[in-house]
Amino acid sequence: MRVPSGIEKDSNGIVKVASDSNSIQIGSDTNDIDIVKDGLNINGSAVITKNSDGTIQIGTDKNDIDITSEGSQ
């Protein structure tokens, strides 16, 4: 079964498999949301990340929220 590579409207990609085949892209290249194997990126910046230690990080290291098995920090 062939899986479609994306959804378009008026020849504009709305949802598509990224060229690296490792993520799903929502929106255009200049203003998009990427669903990647370890989280969610908006405009190329990680917003939600599942870290290798099992914690979930919301935001970047400077001003982030970490969710661990003990709660949020």
Tell me the pLDDT of the chain (73 aa) as tens digits.
455 666 666 666 678 777 666 788 888 777 788 888 899 988 888 899 999 999 999 987 778 899 988 877 6
> Has residue 36 been placed in a domain?
yes
> Has residue 1 been placed in a domain?
no
> Has residue 18 been placed in a domain?
yes
pLDDT at 50: 93
pLDDT at 57: 93
Residue 4, phi-psi category: left (phi > 0), alpha (psi -120 to 50), beta (remainder): beta
* Strand positions, DSSP E, 5-54: 6-9, 12-17, 23-28, 31-36, 39-42, 45-50
The domain of 44 spans 6-72
Say how many domains are in the chain.
Answer: 1
